[in-house]
A = this chain, B = another copy of it.
Amino acid sequence: MQSPQALLRNGDNPSPSAQHRLPTPRFHSTVAEQNLPRFNSLILVFRLASFSFSLAAFVFMLTNTRGSDSPHWDDYDTFRFVLAANAIVMIYSLFEMGASVWEISRGATLLPEFLQVWFDFGHDQVFAYLLISASSAGTSLARTLKEMDTCSDSKAFCLQSDVAIVLGYAAFLFLGLTSLLSGFRVVCFIIHGSCFHM
């Protein structure tokens, strides 16, 4: 078991509340140490799923063009929004996957832990809102296009748009779940002063 000095996170001084909790029972500490890698692995899996689905949505939307006679995703503001939102989530998820791998392999956060847990939670929340917003707007436009002549003339374009939007919803689902888990990490940090060394 680590010494009290080793319990300090990332070289920080212990807060009064953290000092108050230093003599934590060994059982609690052992259980936490056993569960933390699983919890971080679950976050990594969810981030991987979110990345994969947003990447797929991005590619499906970007390649949704079939010559000059057919409509192009770039003709519609809403589809540009869908593409941009999925691109943002894709890049963010890639960064967060790197941060997760770093945490699992080194047992410490990439940024200072206070910053990391709030950064993750804040961005998960905002990007989840962004992605559900883009996907819903895309759904609305896709429905409108179906009611017009566009989809009867260009079935493949509409089908591929639908697939990209559904993939965006899937990415949102996993990002929303990750947001709950990163919220739990914030709670853990507030309670224990660190989720890595309890």
Residue numbers of A with Cβ under 8 A of B are 77-78, 128-129, 132-141, 143-144, 176, 183, 186-187, 190-191
On chain B, the residues within 8 Å of A132 by CB distance are 129, 132-133, 136
CA distance in complex: A183, B187 (Å) = 9
Q: How many protomers of this protein does the assembly include?
A: 2
C-alpha spacing A136/B78, complex, angstroms: 10
B residues within 8 A CB of A136? 132-134, 136-137, 140
Q: A133-B135, A133-B136, A136-B136 are known contacts; what are 7 more A-B pairs with Cβ within 8 Å?
A: A77-B143, A78-B143, A128-B129, A140-B140, A140-B144, A144-B144, A187-B190
Nearest-Cβ distance from residue A15 to partner chain B, whole angstroms? 14
- Are A141 and B139 CB-contacts (below 8 A) given A132-B133, A187-B190? no
> Could you list 7 A-B pairs, sorted by A, with CB under 8 Å?
A133-B136, A134-B136, A136-B136, A136-B137, A137-B140, A140-B141, A190-B191
- In Å, the complex CA distance between A132 and B137 comes to 10
